[in-house]
Amino acid sequence: MTTLTERPDRPTTVSADDPRLRDRSAARSYTVLAVLVAVLAVLPFFLDDQTETVAIRTLIFAIMAVGWNLMSGYGGMFSFGHAAFFGIGAYTGAYLLVEHGVSPWIGMVVGAVISAAAGCLIAFLCLRYKLAGSYFALATFAFAMVFLLSVQNLDVLNRTEGFNVPILSEDSWTMMQWKAGSPLYFWIPLGILAVGLIGTIAFVHSRTGQYAQAVRDDEVAAASLGIPVMRIRLITVAASCALTSLAGSFYTQYYFFVGPEQAFGSAVSVNAIVPAVIGGIGTIWGPLVGALIVGPLSEWIADVLREPPGFLSFLEGLSGLDVAVYAALLILIVLFMPKGIYGTLRDRFRS
């Protein structure tokens, strides 16, 4: 993300196949990312505790959405079950820490590896049996349900009780634990998000990423050009699942608790889908934009409901409004801005 250095004597015209053309768009993305991360990194010094909680939740949404977008946006494999991978991350970290005292950092990596493997297995089965479109979505949804139900019925994973992360008396880097409100709780997900976005940018500009998009757009044509369709798809899925899993592992550490519904519930899958769709599927920045809207939305609505202005007083104390609003937002975006907010704005600027 620090690779951009302006070259003063760049020729004014470049041929269409000049590799620098491609490099520049990647470099521009990396620059934007670097600036963005730098700006966000100082946020914890200005935010009060409650706002920071919202910001951290927004970051978790963003990581999940960026992960989901890799597979569903760039790979064209529409996942309705990303809770499975979020949950694997959350539970692997929690299980290793609580039962074996393993550092959450290691748990995070192990969780990502297991998630990627599970994702590849599921995707391989689905693709092997040629499930596409709605069928693929349903199958991933079913797998997430199977995981949820299994966890609820496995003694070794504490059934519906979940895991409580033991709270230490002092800060510990190895145990990924600091006193409440520490900026590190913000920087870690920010770091993961940065890794995810760097990965996305690199992926989009890499041969693999180009292949993945070709496969998404026309599988048969891509295969006929010699693209190894299955391998490309599985790589995409693995990256997507691993990233989502990291969000899950961090979730456990941040909230000191994980249960079956928080990890594998269908609401988790929805949380991965909605920001990406609202921001723009298949774009680098869309999921982030979507998360920045969806993340604070529920908090903002909860604020309004606590002390509603006069004309909204009938809504006081009602639960459910926040989800209703973002469900309505989802429907409107799909109907009127199928490319999402970021995608639509980008197209408008370009033309």
Query: Which residues are CB-contacts of 292 (< 8 A; sequence separation ≥ 6)?
Result: 58, 62
Please choose, out of 23-31, 183-191, 240-248, 334-342, the segment that lies near other proteins by the rule CB under 8 A. Answer: 334-342
**Residue with Cβ nearer other proteins (114 or 139):** 139
| Contact with other proteins (CB under 8 A) among 132, 225, 302, 312 | 132
Using the minimum distance from each CB to other proteins, give the nearer residue, 33 or 329: 329
- Least distance between other proteins and beta carbon 333 (Å): 9
Q: Is 326 in the site for other proteins (CB under 8 A)?
A: yes
Letter string b/e over residues 45-78, b meaning 16 or more CB atoms within 10 A of that residue's CB:
eebeeeebbbbbbbbbbbbbbbbbbbbbbbbbbb
- And the tokens for 257? 């608790």
Of the residues 74, 95, 143, 264, which one makes contact with other proteins according to CB under 8 A: 143
For other proteins, which is the closer residue by CB, 107 or 282? 282
Q: Which residues contact 238 (CB under 8 A, 6 or more apart)?
A: 116, 117, 119, 120
Subset of 199-218 contacting other proteins (CB under 8 A)? none
Least distance CB 69 / other proteins (angstroms): 13
Residue 88, Cβ neighbours under 10 Å: how many?
30
CA max distance for the chain:
67
> Is the torsion defined by CA of 299, 303, 305, 308 positive or negative?
negative
- Residue 304 in the binding site for other proteins (CB under 8 A): no
Angle between helices 184-205 and 49-69 (to 10 degrees): 20
The yes or no reply on residue 225 touching other proteins (CB under 8 A) is: no
> Under the criterion CB under 8 A, does residue 161 sit at the interface with other proteins?
no
Q: Does 37 bind other proteins (CB under 8 A)?
A: no
Task: Calculate the CA 281 to chain-centre distance.
Answer: 12
Q: Which of residues 228-267 bind other proteins (CB under 8 A)?
A: 266
Which of 137, 193, 239, 272 touches other proteins (CB under 8 A)? 137
Q: What CA–CA distances, in Å, run from 301 to 37, 253, 291, 297, 304?
A: 27, 26, 15, 6, 5
Site stretch for other proteins (CB under 8 A), options 17-25, 127-135, 245-253, 291-299: 127-135
Strands 257-258 and 163-164: antiparallel
149 contributes a contact to other proteins by CB under 8 A: yes
List of residues contacting other proteins (CB under 8 A): 78, 80, 125-126, 128-135, 137-139, 141-143, 145-146, 149-150, 152-153, 266, 270, 273, 277, 281, 315, 318-321, 323-324, 326-328, 330-331, 334-335, 338
